[in-house]
Amino acid sequence: WRAWRVRCLQGIVHRWEIRELYLWGDGCPWYGGQVRLLPDTSSTAVNGTRVGSVTSSGDIGLLGYGRDNAFDGQAETSQDSWMSSCSGCAAGEAWLGLDAGTGPRFSAICAVIREAETPTSQCSRIAVEASDNGSTWYPRGEVGGFRPEKRLCLAMQPEDYPLLDCGAVDDGCGGIVEFGVCAGDAQVCQSNRCYCLGRKDLSDPSFAGWECGQVDDGCGRLLDFGTCSGGGGVTCKNHKCKEPTDFASHWRLVCESGTAGRWLVNDVTLHSEGLCFMPERSYQTTLTSGSSSALHGVKHAFDGDLGTQWGSQCNNCLPREAWIGLNFGRPMRILCVEFLQDERTLQQCRQLVLESSDDGKKWLERARYGFGSNIIRASAMLNFARSEEAEAADLQRIKAFAPLWRIICNSHLNRPWTVVDIEFFDDTGCSNRLRGAVVEPLYSRTSSWPPGNAFDANPDTVWRSSCGQFPDDPCREGQTYLGVRFQLPIIVKCVALSQGRPGAGACPHLVLQFSESAEAPAWTHRENFKDIGAFAYLVATDPSEASAAGRRTGGVRLGAAAA
């Protein structure tokens, strides 16, 4: 940006008086920042960068109250200050800042405004703004209240880095700026820039069996596999040429997503009509990729007994490694599938493909389920209206599956948030632990107590937030959080939390959030929990099951206080 300024957004009783305006270009001093942004005319000896000239809405015109006084570094030893030309300034009228003119652009990451001691010369709501042309200004942060000194950390944003493509950088305020991942799978992120390692061609092994359509070569160009020939209604679907006939003797369900554990299926019924009324129970043989044991053989998936299960031979199955199906011994048309799998998320497949074959060797894809909004859960009725090709409504947030989940502290704390242990579950009974599916913890700026302490099930170790350690750096509402990234989309229905005692590290107001994208997280509120003590099970409730009184917060089951 070419210019930065502070502007008073509220009316002022007298004149706005600023004794010193501190702008830092490398971070707040309490985060290690050292380089002040100063005008070219500054004679102060502090470590700083000269960036241009001081600009303002107007000075009073009296000796000792000029705009340069706000950057002379003498707030502690001199009574010099800047005083606005307006008296009884209207909202938005008075401002003060630095302008680079034709010089290099610069960024401000932190602002400290020292005003007059009397509230009549203070501004109760100050905005920090940036501009490239001096006429169009963009808000970067606000700070309010009546006090002589106001502090504001100005978190960097993606638009501050127009040349960066990927990865993440420190935002200067204890967080990170996420740029996501490189768009091409043949690109690598180095120093936050995407570089092509080598473009794919039509002969690449990853395209084996492809017959039609187009695909990215990994670095932004399209590869063309052509169109389907033969006429007669042959179409290209998922890079395969599909025959128009719907009849085949062999049908199977393939787990396209892979699984976090062993895939356990209770029951599958195939139907030749689209409403799943009458199952086709007459078949020749069962088909499977392999079973875990005789007790969990494939026949149990088709016996109509919901108390038995088929278990896949693979554990942590790769995409398309596990599948089950039937050989009817005669041409059949399958239009609907009733599907029931294990209640535990780690034993579930979230994406299924229905395929058919005439010989059990060459398979033709018929429908895909779970690739859009319709996530496959424990039970599902799969028909062509629910396939990937149909337009599906967005999932309600109470039913959303996501890979990222976290608990944020929505209270103001004067001490660090202290977490002894945290555990996520996919059931409201808080019994199905999800620790085996955790890829990494998610956490806000931390202190010397590492986040791993909150996941080690050890009551003698804790994690503590960085904020709240000092009187001038409390934990603000929503500033500190703790969560996990799972290896697959999961729905969290319960969180067991052991934290410090109330008034000594506990956060009384917590919010459960999820994000469907790990590349550029956009967090959605799932549930609020209030009046939380040292230990509780935080149960996410379905509003449709709430009491007639209209309960708006999640359920809390209290437990013994943490040690």
* Structure confidence by residue, pLDDT tens digits, 83-107: 999 999 999 999 999 999 988 989 8
**Per-residue pLDDT for 548 more than 60?**
no
How far is the C-alpha of 288 from the C-alpha of 217, rounded, in Å? 34
Residue 237 has pLDDT above 70, yes or no: yes
The number of angstroms, rounded, from the C-alpha of 468 to the middle of its chain's C-alpha atoms is 25
Who has greater pLDDT, 42 or 22? 22
- The structure tokens listed for 482 are 């703790």
Q: How far is CA 434 from CA 318, 408, 470, 489, 494, in A?
A: 19, 19, 35, 11, 10
- Residues 48 and 462: their CA atoms lie apart, in Å, by 39
Q: What is the pLDDT of residues 384-399, one digit of tens each?
A: 654 544 333 334 455 5
Do 280 and 250 form a contact (C-beta atoms < 8 A)? no
Token readout for 484 is 């996990």
How many whole angstroms separate alpha carbon 66 and alpha carbon 78? 13
The tens digit of pLDDT for each residue in 435-445 reads: 888 889 999 88
Q: Is the pLDDT of residue 8 over 80?
A: yes
Q: What is the pLDDT of residue 536?
A: 92
| Largest pairwise CA distance in the chain | 101
Listed residue (13, 34, 39) closest to 24, CA to CA: 34
Cα–Cα–Cα angle for 490, 492, 495, rounded to 5 degrees: 145
Q: What is the pTM of this model?
A: 0.43
What is the length of the chain? 563
End-to-end alpha-carbon separation of the chain, Å? 51
166 touches 34 (CB < 8 A): no
∠ Cα 516 257 286 (to 5°): 145
List of residues 6+ apart from 330 with CB closer than 8 A: 249
What pLDDT score does 547 carry?
35
What 3-state class would DSSP assign to 499?
strand
Contact 314, 288 (CB under 8 A): no
Q: For residues 460 and 482, what is the distance between their CA atoms, to the nearest angstrom?
A: 18
Q: Is 263 helix (H, G, I), strand (E, B) or coil?
A: strand
pLDDT surpassing 90 at residue 291: yes
Domain 247-386 has CATH 2.40.10: no
Give the CA distances from residue 442 to residues 44, 172, 481, 485, in Å, rounded to whole numbers and listed in that order: 42, 18, 8, 7
The mean-pLDDT minimum among 6-15, 245-254, 320-329, 554-563 falls in 554-563
Higher-scoring residue by pLDDT: 388, 166: 166
| Comparison of pLDDT for 10 and 373, the residue scoring more | 10
Q: Are 217 and 201 in contact (CB under 8 A)?
A: yes
Mean pLDDT of the chain: 85
Residue 259 dihedral angles phi and psi, to the nearest 5°:
-135, 160
Taking 60 as the threshold, does the pLDDT of residue 492 lie above it?
Answer: yes
pLDDT for res 324: 97
Q: Hey, which of 169-178, 184-193, 285-294, 471-480 has the most confident mean pLDDT?
A: 285-294
* Residue 374: band (very low, low, confident or very high) from pLDDT cuts 50, 70, 90: low
% of the chain exceeding 90 in pLDDT: 43
Q: What is the pLDDT of residue 560?
A: 36
- pLDDT category of residue 47 using cuts at 50, 70 and 90: low
Who has greater pLDDT, 517 or 429?
429
pLDDT exceeds 60 at position 559 = no
State the Cα–Cα distance between residues 56 and 99, nearest whole angstrom: 10
- Spatial distance between the Cα atoms of 44 and 71, rounded to a whole number of angstroms: 8
Average pLDDT over residues 394-412: 75
pLDDT bucket at 123, cuts 50 / 70 / 90: very high
Give the span between the Cα atoms of 128 and 142, in whole angstroms: 6
What is the rounded distance in angstroms from the CA atom of residue 286 to the CA atom of residue 251?
10
Sheet with 285-288, strands from edge to edge, namely 285-288, 323-332, 248-255, 352-357, 364-369
Rounded to an integer, what distance in angstroms lies between the CA atom of residue 465 and that of residue 448? 9
**374-to-156, 368, 399, 400 alpha-carbon distances in Å:** 36, 10, 10, 10
- Between the CA of residue 430 and those of 96, 185, 259, 479, 495, what are the distances in Å? 55, 38, 21, 27, 7
Dihedral sign of CA atoms 293, 298, 299, 303 in order: positive
The predicted pLDDT at position 355 comes to: 93
Q: Where are the domain boundaries for CATH 2.60.60 in the chain?
A: 247-386
**Type of residue found at 324:** I
Q: Which residues pair with 504 in a beta bridge?
A: 501
- Percentage, residues of the chain above pLDDT 70: 89
Confidence check: pLDDT of 157 > 90:
no
What are the tens digits of pLDDT across the range 453-481?
999 989 899 999 989 888 888 998 888 99
C-alpha 40: how far from chain center: 42
Q: What is the pLDDT of residue 403?
A: 87
